[in-house]
Amino acid sequence: MSRIAYVNGRYVPHRDGYVHIEDRGYQFADGCYEVVAISGDTFVDAGLHLKRLRRSLDALKIAFPMTDAALTVVMRELARRNMIREGFVYLQITRGVAPRDFAFPAKVKPSLVMTARTKTLIDPRLLSDGIKVITIPDIRWGRPDIKSVALLPNALGKEQAKQAGAVEAWQFDRDGNVTEGTSSNAWIVTKACEVVTRKANTDILNGVTRLGLLHVIAEAGLRFVERPFSVAEAKSAPEALQTSSTNFVLSVVRIDDTPIGDGKPGPVGQKLAKLYADYAASGAQDRT
């Protein structure tokens, strides 16, 4: 069966899913997106994803094309048509189609595109072996808290990581503090067994998996601290982690050429990965 996409009100074969050449997402990166994981019959924290999408669109003054309830119906139908039990739905909303001009066009209708794909969310090998990340300067624009489609710096960083044999690139600011990965949030575990991640302000994207893990950490009775940490502190930490909607929780066992701890996933990371997987599969986490 061929894949099915949703393009501006129509379910179409994936190969026929097109938008106009003057769509502002294509010409100006004038749009936002979300990636919602599917675990069994559950959209993991879909309510939080749609809330963040609305926040991002509001920041760019792009109209929301339909209600959350209607959008959820389309997501479920797209997952059904693609027979996805584990994977994700990608949704993108742009300002729409208009003659090319930097200023916002008047009375333009937003474009809504969705695709769905099967993907293993918990890779047993990555879970047992951990992953390597590299560190790179953060060269993104000043509002990475908006989940916009302007992802060229992220793509450049991801390619740099790939060429270095790493899974991810952790970005750092002018003070040498880690902001986040190119498609993930960054965490460390201190010697005092504190789970640390950077505060979600305008410097980083407030990841939905990040928010879910905060819930898991509280439920597990672990100590959580929200503060910056430097690349140097991360390299000397007993454990490091990353979170994302498409890989959940993974232990970082090497940063650049420095092994973290004993170079294997540590006990806190392993525990949190297991607890988050249970949380995602529970079907009880769809918070708003």
Set 51, 107, 119, 147: catalytic member? 147
Tokens in use for 251?
């232990």
239 — phi, psi (to 5°)? -145, 155
Fill in the amino acid letter for 25.
Answer: G
CA 105 to chain CA centroid, nearest Å: 29
Contacts of 131 (CB under 8 A, 6+ apart): 166, 167, 168, 242, 250, 251, 252, 253, 254
CB-based contact 49:209 (threshold 8 Å): no
> d(Cα 34, Cα 88) in Å, to the nearest integer?
10
| 107 has catalytic annotation | no
Catalogue the active-site residues.
147
